[in-house]
Each structure stands twice: as C-alpha cells, then as structure tokens.
Amino acid sequence: MLAGLPVPADAVHELARLIRATGGDDLADQFERAVDDQVKLLALTLPERAVVLTALEDPPAELAELGAVLLAEWRVAHNLVHDLVLLSRLRAASDDIAYQACCELMDERGARLEALVTQIRKLEQTPDE
C-alpha cells in the first residue's frame, strides 16, 4: 500500500522506473526492495511523496489514482489557510510577545508569509461589523 492505496507489484516497479528517471535512485531502490521483501505497507515522508508526485506528472493508468491522491494530499499540506488563520489570531492579540512571534514567523516563512501579511492588512482595513 502506498498513500493508503493498494498498488500491484508491477505498478510499483513502473513507479520505481519513473522515479529513477527523475534522479530519485535511492527512493526507487527503496520501492524495489519493498516489492522484493513483500512489504505490505510502505510509509513515505513528505519529501519522498514530492519525488513520487514529480515522477507521476504524466502517470500511466495503473498509477493515476496514486498520483491523484498524492496531489490532493500535497494541496492540503500546502494550504495557506492555516497560516492566514494563525496570523489573524496573532494580529488580534495586542501584546508585544504576539507581535514578536509574528515577526519571527515572517522571517521563517519568507515570501509566502509576506503575501499573507498583505491579505491581513487588507482585512484590517475592512470595518468590523
């Protein structure tokens, strides 16, 4: 099983071939060993999932569902709504600690958070109802 889906051994070998074509030799080896060892469930890290998703940009039919599931998971994992809610809560707090935490968070997240701050500023300009 990959990403909660049963994937036949021949499809895993095809996936390993596609991953190897993107330069993911170590991950491809891991998939091939899993088939050889008859592993029933293979957990993937987020970076490994990203490699698989890249390899499945144009998936064969037997891997299309896996590609769709991984893409859906990626979209959820990178959803900016969580960050917007977090920054909105920090903005709502008026103490210096919350302000400092917001600044540190902006430093860590860089350009992505700068876009969120712009959205928050627009929200601040909207009169409360």
pLDDT digit string, tens, across residues 16-50: 999 999 999 999 999 999 999 999 888 888 889 88
Domain annotation covers residue 52 = yes
Tokens coding 97: 């600690």
Helix and strand totals (H; E) in the chain = 7, 0
The pLDDT value recorded for residue 11 is 94
Domain stop point among 55, 77, 99:
77
Answer yes or no: are the C-beta atoms of 3 and 66 closer than 8 Å.
yes
Domain annotation covers residue 1 = no
Domain annotation covers residue 86 = yes
Picking from 53, 35, 36, the residue whose alpha carbon sits closest to that of residue 44 is 53
CA dihedral 10, 11, 15, 18 (to 10 degrees): 80
Domain annotation covers residue 2 = no
Q: Which residues constitute the domain of residue 27?
A: 9-77
In the chain, how many domains are there?
2
| Predicted TM-score (pTM) of this structure | 0.59
Sign of dihedral through CA atoms 24, 30, 34, 39? negative
- Both 85 and 54 in one domain: the answer is no
Domain annotation covers residue 35 = yes
Domain annotation covers residue 66 = yes
The pLDDT tens digits of the residues spanning 77-119 come to: 766 556 666 666 666 655 566 566 666 665 665 656 566 667 6
The pLDDT value recorded for residue 4 is 83
Contacts of 7 (CB under 8 A, 6+ apart): 1, 15, 63, 66
Mean pLDDT for the chain overall? 79
The pLDDT value recorded for residue 20 is 96
- Both 44 and 99 in one domain: the answer is no
Tokens coding 45: 């890290």
- Both 23 and 67 in one domain: the answer is yes
- Both 55 and 97 in one domain: the answer is no
- Both 98 and 113 in one domain: the answer is yes
